[in-house]
Chain A
Amino acid sequence: MAEAGEVGKRAGGEERMNMNAEQILEKLKESLGNALLTYEIKEYTMGVRRKRTLYEIWAEIDKSAFRKAVETIFNIDYPHLHFITGEDTGGDVIKMIYSFGIYHGHPGGEISITLKFDLPKSELVLPTITDLMIGAETNEREIREMLGVEFEGLKNKRHLFLPDDWPEGKYPWRRDEHGVDDMVKYMHKSVKEIRKKGEGNA
């Protein structure tokens, strides 16, 4: 159990009670209903002389409920976006992972909420969250170029890390025909190996 009843002063200046991990999970269940597929509260004990327990919520949701889940989190507390990433295991779906942290600024009280959902490769479109958090633009632009996921409502769609003349339809994190394995032959070989083989001429 997280320390329930901790009074916190938030960015707006108003005081309100912080919810604990279970209460947050209840709130997510309430707003998502059946779209909340599986969930888990992970507990980690940290420290040597003064043990502390940290809580993380990991939830698997249905793709359709993504925006609602994010809005629910924003209604609880203005979160900090830790990261957005995705995993392509080579199948028909990309597993998207969004990680938020809420109640930062409370010693030992930050609760991390990780949302995971399958996004079918036939329809790689997600609503943007930049209207809620402008700073998420960087994350969405990265996911767009690395995985080929389109964000509806994202204003700046230029490449972030990849060069402007990057070939279309190539996404470095994909493990299917859109991947880049044929482009990066030498990234995990030693220079000696490459020279011995004598390949790689244009």
Chain B
Amino acid sequence: MPKTAYYIPVGPIHPALKEPIRVEAEIEGEKVVKVDVKRGFAHRGIEYMGMKRNAIQTLYLSERICGICSISHPYAFVVAAEKALGIEAPPRAQYIRPIIAELERIHSHLLWLGVIAHEMGFDSLLFWIWKGREKVLDILELLTGNRINYSVFMIGGVRRDLKESHIKALKDMITYYWEFTEKMKEIMLSDPVYKARTRGVAQLSKELALKLNVVGPTARAAGLRMDIRQDMPYDAYADIDVRAVVPQDIVGEARGDAYDITMVRIYEIEQSLDIIEYCVDNLPEGKILAIPNYVALLAKIRRTKGEAIGAHEAPRGEVVHYLKFDGRDGPSVWKVIAPSYNNINSWAPLLLGAEVADIPIVVAYIDPCMCCNDRVALLKTPEGKVLGYEYIHKKAVEKTKRIEREVKK
């Protein structure tokens, strides 16, 4: 007897989603038979804004594309800008930049490991992992002054130097996380329940991963040796010889499922610890900015005509920035590709044939980041007239006042 098909819309606003996106699934019994993904609910037009500002403003705007990858976008931006301008950051800055970027990777991966535990209903694990994540956030605050949005990168270097006390704190942190990752391997990878819940779920083959153009841990879990730090090394990464972390090197084969991606992320934390240790031990002396005067830097940008592509391996995958300088003090063309832009491609094929209970795992598996992926909303009257800023603001104030009156009653 044919089963009746049900239609399950998830999002854009949904208690299980931390950011707005819409997944429309058609199910027959427990099986997903049709999927459609709609994105764009958090599109803010950042590229458009960037093409109207100067390069330094755009650099800090790029940091606001995403709160979690708040150093990955500036990293790709400075790499592209330095290529276009033909300048090189001083050696010390080239070693400080990967330290900050790897700290970000540790905190982003720990965030994901907590989220995936939560998605499968293992909330005590979520709290334990996030407690462990506090350490790296504290270090980032010590080094840069902020837990997120560090604002330490500059075209041609970095804005803050590392002090002796920072280096000591970094070494303590490295010891702390080596113990922490060992425990994580035990709790997650060796746990039969975790294994049962993730093995074979969200399985992506190597071939499909290549065709879907996915990037980062999603591609690596499927066995593709893809990592910008390895393929197109920059800064200190070129000295270190970074190698992509793939499951076949750890357990002999890559299955590309949620279990493999957990493994890739845990081992990448360890890789990040090694990179930070190398950078700290081999930190060159010297200045940290190629052009310390920002007015001179902007003048140079105004004189430059050229274009370049900058790429950085963000925690979720590659971030690519294309920019073109054309007689203005900022980019005349700016194109940003964030990892979720490509990784969301995997949802529709992975959800087909999956069970309803697997939807959260498939969705969380790539560590989706809507604010990275999207970057417009129009408010209209029922007649189709677009509402202006001031009108919306006035209405918001009226509403707040009304609520205040009601509360006082």
Contacts and interface: CB of A to CB of B under 8 A. Distances in A.
Interface in B307-323: 309, 311, 318, 320, 322
B387 interface: yes
Nearest to B326: A89
B378 interface: yes
Contact of B49 (A97, A134, A187, A202): A187
Given A99-B309, A163-B378, A200-B391, A47 B344 contact: no
A166 B378 contact: yes
Given A50-B238, A87-B324, A87-B332, 18 more contacts: A11-B207, A46-B235, A48-B239, A82-B309, A85-B333, A99-B322, A101-B231, A105-B224, A108-B232, A108-B233, A112-B232, A136-B213, A173-B48, A180-B48, A187-B52, A188-B53, A199-B390, A201-B388
A16 interface: no
A80 B213 contact: yes
B320 A82 contact: yes
Contact of A97 (B226, B234, B318, B322): B322
B390 to A, nearest CB: 4
Nearest to B344: A138
Contacts of B244: 105
A68 interface: no
Given A46-B234, A78-B210, A187 B39 contact: no
22 contacts: A11-B210, A47-B235, A47-B237, A51-B238, A52-B238, A82-B311, A99-B309, A104-B224, A109-B231, A112-B309, A114-B309, A134-B345, A135-B212, A137-B345, A162-B40, A173-B48, A185-B389, A186-B389, A195-B390, A199-B388, A200-B388, A202-B385
B43 interface: yes
B366 interface: no
Contact of B376 (A82, A110, A163): A163
A106 interface: yes
Interface string B41-73: 001010011001100000000000000000000
Interface string A82-95: 11010100000000
Interface stretch (B120-128, B136-144, B334-342, B398-406): B334-342
A187 B388 CA distance: 12
Query: Looking at chain A's contact residues, is the secondary structure mostly helix, strand, loop, or mixed?
Result: loop
Given A161-B43, A166-B378, A184-B45, A11 B224 contact: yes
A81 to B, nearest CB: 5
A2 interface: no
Contacts of B377: 163
Contacts of A49: 239, 282
B311 A87 contact: no
Given A51-B238, A162-B40, A104 B226 contact: yes
B206 A200 contact: no
A54 B308 CA distance: 13
B18 interface: no
Given A107-B230, A112-B309, A194-B390, A160 B40 contact: yes
B223 to A, nearest CB: 9
Given A114-B309, A162-B43, A188 B49 contact: yes
B374 interface: yes
B95 interface: yes
Given A82-B309, A114-B309, A52 B233 contact: yes
A140 B178 CA distance: 43
A50 B239 CA distance: 5
A194 B210 CA distance: 48
Interface string A164-201: 01100000110000001001111110000011001111
A201 B213 contact: no
B307 to A, nearest CB: 8
A62 interface: no
Contacts of A163: 40, 376-378
Nearest to A105: B225
A46 B40 contact: no
Given A135-B345, A138-B341, A162-B40, A80 B226 contact: yes
B231 to A, nearest CB: 4
Given A108-B238, A160-B40, A198-B390, A46 B376 contact: no
B386 A105 contact: no
A195 B83 CA distance: 41
Contacts of A161: 39-40, 43, 374-376
**Which are the 4 A-B pairs with shortest beta-carbon distances?**
A135-B213, A47-B238, A200-B388, A110-B231
B20 interface: no
Contacts of B318: 82
Given A78-B210, A194-B390, A200-B388, A83 B231 contact: no
Nearest to B282: A49
A136 B214 CA distance: 10
B381 A202 contact: yes
A29 interface: no
Contacts of B226: 80, 104-105
B171 interface: no
Given A161-B40, A184-B45, A138 B233 contact: no
Interface in B322-357: 322, 324, 332-333, 335, 337, 341-342, 344-345
